[in-house]
Structure 1
């Protein structure tokens, strides 16, 4: 009978060592593949949000964890803001935050080192980010995101079951943090630069929009809201000087909370700020209730406001108004925010001064006529939106669509203002409108090309407004339905002069008949039908084929029709 010899201890040890090496090699290969996927997703993304989501999703899948969350540091407030997550409550993104040093993730960022805990909620450093469902998770590992010795944020991974983190897992997550930190910092800087450009463009638009006293109140209300959001203030008041009563009177107010009483006027002879006799520049006040005259202190206390940035609006060394930004807490205005408010105040002051120089009665009368027609269009659109029983959009989506419709009207009015209220170039207006719609409504994952081709035709403001609204609705309809589950698409808008008849065609290369839509016409198509029938006195057809959808408007028009 053969004798089976027992394997020598050295042979078993060598075999175990080889198996361990193979497992380690396999783990490293898996990690390198994951890093490659993260870098590919970053290269394929054009915005910070997509980059962050790609990193979080890939890390969650490769690690086999239940949640990956990425926090970025806001240097002005020293808060780590939740920017991407795969397991926490999605609505907490951009709202949830940790202070530096707060919680395990804040601790990792402050101490610049990883932390890995099997039972996170029992750790004395644990801090739950409100409204995130973080209590569902047991184990947590966090690593700092450091670029060129600067902390740009932190990243954590979490599991619902208790898990003992291995040295390999800690090394892998730390490696991800090291790889993406520099990329994220550059993306943050790029986004910040783009934000500043948008802010300056907004300031320029505000200045241009305020060229008439007829627009002043509405413009100032927009400025108040835009300014408050830009600097994260809760309340903004725009006060203009009324020389008859020698006081800065509230002209526009925005507050994130409802039913807040209006800010009292600021007397020119008795300014409410103690120890301030005249304005020489911005005034930043902490604990405003203790540094205001009693009447204003009482108002601030009632409104629960405590921090104030007061920026004078000056033209040629003359203060014509005040831009007041209020916060609930003191000392929340960074230097960049103060600079933005100064720029905004200066532009508003110049615009108001220019508006006061308009004295041509004929221009004012004509503008009043155009404004009345435009406001009637706005009311009509909002009423149709209000009574649309089939509308399943969220309030935010409804507001977004309404804004795009109103911007179409504004584009026509802007063209009229530039051309002295004569006939307007329809092709130019449509190009502006579809540009705005494409910028505001295109899905992030859709590569959309829009062409505007054909004749340059001139029409009256009323006809041009109706046509611009129709094209806006048709383009939005195509963007919403034609390219579902597609990554790219094309829309072509053609304008043809058929000898006394205008033909406008909006054609897409989307799903067409493959969409299989048989439901009743949407609000947008109802708006098109009504405008074509009542304002353009024309007809509208919609044709779907296997190659896409073609919407066609035919309407008579006259080059000499200047009725607005």
Structure 2
């Protein structure tokens, strides 16, 4: 049976001093005698200072553990330093052991005399020191001992609320830093996977011979590239869940130009409008809508021509986003099927995305093709008066 008590970060002398007070309080609560208490506190401080001095930062985890028929205070001191070369020689006092700093060998050897049990593990990933100090409390008094130790720690916290708040803020900052590192790693791996998918589609398209296959793979590549552009913008954004819409749409347009412009057809795609910050999920939808219509324009609007123009415009009006994709191509002739009613995969996808926002679609093919999407949008407002 074991009970965790507290974990302390050790990177300043003030942290070592706090460890001293807490260790004294716990050993007193466990009815250690004066000599045993001094011995335990001295060993803890020696191990903690070694971690601080030779690895910059260490951590001390204190807990209670049943050991035989006694309750013991257990300490695990860890760091992420370079490790200790020749540890066995150092602990045995041999000359072959080379400690990374003055006093380390003597201090580590002294831990064996100051504790009732000790174990030291060290490697390139860091060092872990385990120390055990037996108390006079019998193991059947474990629950009462744990309560007494917890109460002693609480009294120290209550006596110095500023120090406790500082410690809590530091723990919170570490958690946020760790989360950010994990998110960066997730984004990095996601980006690599998306790039791999895009490359596989591109290779398949280049190796395809049937025009229908090439067309399907080109469409799929354009859709994947829209998602890739959202991911890239999010990585550059200050917020992980929002991005600026206009630079993102400009990248989508540039990708379409790079994918579809050729020696026989040059189309200029311009992007303008309001630079609005939007949620990442909405950005993916806007990118797919824009990419789909740009692809359609390249395929159908400029048949028999060598050049053309496409406008992408995003504005915010009356709590809604208006996305317009307009070209100066052939438009719709009399008798042509209405594209918004098409059963193609692209238009089914468009209708699904617009419906998700309870939005509307307007198509005008009288002078080129102009498609306008109106999507209800609630911008986040910050109360600056607070």
TM-score, normalisation: structure 2: 0.44
The structure having more radius of gyration, on CA atoms, is 2
Q: Larger relative CO (CA 8 A, sep 6+): 1 or 2?
A: 2
TM-score, normalisation: structure 1: 0.30
